[in-house]
């Protein structure tokens, strides 16, 4: 499994044609305490960069963007009752959605973990 990151602090964990999407620890810390998560509809087709979900914290509301194009196959319904999971485990149980990846070549424009860490260090 490979994990990729966007400049908007989303991550996608790739397993075959399936990608699991969430926000990074950096984003979760910047948001503060998450109080609400709006998830997409299962079956929704998204283009790279489309708004995939919304996360609201005590500080602000923020969009979560699709790191690649694909179809939503599953959403993390547990976040509806426990949105704080995004803060507690942003790269684990705090995932937002799973999608079938339309074009794996889109992953090439994303950062690996090392490059993402360097990117965050420069912010």
Average pLDDT, the chain: 97
Residues 6-47: tens digit of each pLDDT: 999 999 999 999 999 999 999 999 999 999 999 999 999 999
Residues 40-55: tens digit of each pLDDT: 999 999 999 999 999 9
Are 14 and 107 a contacting pair, CB within 8 Å? yes
Q: Strand 2-5 and strand 70-75: pairing?
A: unpaired
What domains are there in the chain, each with its CATH number?
2-104 (2.40.50.100)
> What gap in Å lies between CA 60 and CA 62, rounded to an integer?
6
User: pTM for the full model?
Assistant: 0.97
């Amino acid at each position: 499994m490979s994990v990729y990151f966007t400049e908007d602090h989303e991550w996608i964990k790739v397993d075959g044609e399936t990608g699991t999407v969430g926000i990074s620890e950096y984003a979760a810390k910047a948001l503060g305490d998450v109080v609400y998560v709006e998830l997409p509809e299962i079956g929704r087709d998204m283009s790279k960069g489309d708004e995939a979900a919304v996360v609201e914290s005590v500080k602000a509301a923020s969009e979560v963007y699709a790191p690649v194009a694909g179809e939503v196959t599953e959403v993390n319904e547990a976040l509806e009752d426990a949105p704080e999971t995004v803060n507690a485990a942003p790269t684990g149980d705090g995932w937002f959605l799973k999608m079938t990846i339309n074009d794996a070549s889109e992953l090439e424009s994303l950062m690996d973990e090392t490059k993402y860490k360097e990117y965050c260090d420069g912010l």
